[in-house]
């Protein structure tokens, strides 16, 4: 059957085949760079990732050939890439087997609403407009058009096309960068007790979608405040200085939209505020996230290791550079000429400080992959029978567990606004708690007398130490996945064994509460 452009081929028998129960899963992490000039191109690439999750066209064949579902579960973006990342996440989070928010509908944001003539700030002759601080109307037209796009998509969810092989998922993390103009100010101390004031202008907003969450859905199709917050977040990450005005976000206020941004960005965490509220209230001002963080790799790579699964997973990371640079073919590289004075000045003031290399990110990914390979190699060589630990080894082990538990609990307490700027009190509390927790273990003469209390303490720590429970949970699942892989990679698939192991993994995962 030959299809002409625009012809609907959904009735084809090939596209209406029932989706198989795939035994593996391919998970995609996506990093979207800034680059407004190629925003439409990036939007098209994001649309392909959306189509992959839906199993449309060629992606249905890819799923069949790889025996894998395909899901997008981690997205990070900056500037124009940040906007496309928000749009993609909104579409993915609100598309189900029968109902979809089709990502293709968001293309009009760039084709129609992105018209420069519409974005230009209107000139009003009746006043001098002396307070205008940007060329484009960011707080009015720009943000309002983004809000309308989210509102329209939420109100006009469509029936899914026939013949799709939709891949279900239960969690999605979106990371969007912004630049905090005033900076997050906090204090720390030298060992001598001298106070150091530190400023950090980087900011990242993390939006967590969980399928089973009861409230706080960051991609809600019905909550207008959430949709306004998403529109403002798009504006925050893409408000290029001079072209767009800075974006103010109120904190410690009753503004529901800004309160969501405050939560997503953890804007009050470890931040010192003026003791006396300013006349206009507490506000944080943002410009384009690409000013300091145009290639947000690290957030995606870190989030990968907090994922749960109920079958073998193939993890892939994609990064989308709308305008890849070529250095080897450049004249400067070939001729190696001494730069002129003007080139040195412009390079020192603009070029070099603004250039962001991804070499460290790629090295980090390579290092992580190497560690995983070594871990798997060592894991295979570990004896099945583990000898009983000596009392001394047990004590060292529990000492480490207790201190680790202390750090986990106190880190939550120290996030409280009371402890901001009081690092010396934090250090004292850490030392006192460590001494208190380990006093029964450190005294070797009393160890034998306290064997029973120690065993009781060990059980209590087991119940409290969530990080240990997560490690144990992930280790158990990794062992099951290894057995599943063995069952489906042999010359003759062991369907019975695969089914039993898959059901076991499903039970463990469904009863898990370890979704970050």
Query: Which are the catalytic amino acids?
Result: 79, 288
Output the CA torsion sign for 288, 291, 295, 297: negative
What CA–CA distance (Å, rounded) separates 9 from 162? Answer: 10
Count the helices and strands in the chain (H runs, E runs): 18, 9
Write out the H or E segment, with its range, that includes residue 233.
helix 224-238
The beta strands (E) that lie in 211-339 are given as 247-250, 283-288, 313-320
Give the helix ranges, DSSP H, for 94-123: 107-108, 116-119
467: alpha, beta or left? (left if phi > 0; alpha if psi -120 to 50): alpha
- 32, 112, 291 from 318: Cα distances, Å: 9, 28, 22
Q: Residue 189, SS3? A: strand
Write out the H or E segment, with its range, that includes residue 99.
strand 99-100
**Residue reference for tokens 């969530």:** 466
Q: Which two tokens stand for residue 381?
A: 């060589």
Q: How many CB atoms lie within 10 A of CB 194?
A: 8
Q: What is the distance of C-alpha 300 from the center of its chain? A: 5
71: alpha, beta or left? (left if phi > 0; alpha if psi -120 to 50): beta
Burial degree of 88 (CB within 10 A; 0-12, 13-18, 19+): buried
What CA–CA distance (Å, rounded) separates 380 from 489? Answer: 17
- Encode burial over 237-276: b for 16+ CB neighbours within 10 A, e otherwise: bbbbeeebbbbbbbbbeebebbbbbbbbbebbebbebeee
DSSP states along 314-354: EEEEEEE-SS----TTSHHHHH-PPPPHHHHHHIIIIIHHH
Q: Which residues contact 366 (CB under 8 A, 6 or more apart)?
A: none
What CA–CA distance (Å, rounded) separates 188 from 198? Answer: 8
Q: What is the distance of C-alpha 102 from the center of its chain? A: 22
């Amino acid at each position: 059957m030959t299809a002409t452009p625009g012809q609907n081929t959904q009735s084809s028998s090939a596209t209406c085949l029932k989706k198989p129960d795939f035994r593996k899963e391919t998970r995609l992490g996506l990093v979207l760079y800034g680059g407004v000039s190629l925003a439409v191109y990036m939007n098209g690439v994001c649309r392909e990732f959306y189509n992959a999750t839906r199993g449309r066209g060629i992606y249905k064949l890819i799923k069949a050939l790889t025996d894998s579902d395909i899901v997008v579960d981690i997205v990070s973006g900056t500037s124009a890439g940040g906007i496309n990342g928000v749009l993609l996440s909104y579409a993915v989070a609100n598309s189900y087997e029968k109902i979809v928010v089709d990502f293709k509908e968001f293309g009009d944001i760039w084709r129609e609403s992105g018209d420069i003539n519409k974005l230009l700030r209107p000139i009003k002759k009746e006043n001098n407009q002396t307070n205008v601080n940007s060329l484009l109307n960011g707080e009015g037209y720009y943000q309002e058009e983004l809000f309308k796009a989210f509102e329209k998509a939420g109100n006009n969810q469509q029936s899914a096309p026939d013949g799709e092989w939709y891949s279900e998922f239960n969690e999605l993390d979106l990371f969007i960068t912004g630049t905090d103009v005033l900076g997050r100010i906090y204090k720390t101390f030298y060992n001598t007790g001298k106070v150091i004031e530190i400023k950090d202008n980087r900011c990242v907003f993390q939006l967590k979608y969980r399928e089973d969450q009861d409230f706080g859905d960051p991609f809600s199709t019905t909550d207008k405040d959430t949709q306004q917050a998403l529109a403002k977040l798009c504006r925050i990450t893409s408000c290029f200085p001079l072209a767009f005005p800075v974006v103010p976000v109120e904190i410690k206020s009753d503004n529901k939209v800004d309160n969501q941004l405050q939560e997503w960005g953890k804007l009050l965490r470890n931040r010192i505020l003026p003791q006396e509220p300013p006349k206009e209230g507490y506000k944080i001002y943002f410009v384009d996230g690409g000013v300091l963080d145009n290639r947000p790799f690290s957030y995606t790579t870190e989030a990968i290791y907090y994922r749960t699964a109920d079958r073998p997973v193939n993890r892939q990371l994609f990064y989308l550079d709308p305008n890849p640079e070529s250095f080897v073919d450049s004249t400067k590289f070939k001729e190696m000429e001494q730069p002129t004075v003007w080139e040195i000045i412009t390079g020192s003031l603009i070029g070099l400080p603004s250039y962001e290399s991804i070499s460290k990110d790629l090295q980090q990914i390579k290092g992580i992959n190497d560690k995983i390979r070594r871990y798997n190699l060592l894991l295979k060589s570990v004896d099945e029978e583990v000898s009983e630990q000596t009392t001394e080894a047990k004590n060292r082990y529990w000492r480490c567990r207790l201190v680790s538990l202390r750090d986990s609990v106190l880190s939550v307490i120290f996030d409280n606004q009371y402890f901001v700027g009081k690092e010396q009190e934090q250090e004292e509390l850490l030392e006192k708690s460590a001494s208190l927790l380990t006093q029964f273990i450190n005294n070797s003469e009393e160890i034998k007398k306290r064997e029973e209390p120690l065993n009781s303490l060990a059980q209590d720590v087991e119940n409290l130490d969530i990080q240990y429970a997560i490690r144990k949970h992930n280790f158990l699942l990794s062992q099951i996945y290894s057995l599943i892989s063995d069952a489906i990679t042999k010359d003759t698939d062991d369907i019975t064994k695969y089914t039993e192991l898959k059901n076991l993994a499903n039970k463990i995962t469904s009863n898990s509460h370890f979704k970050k």
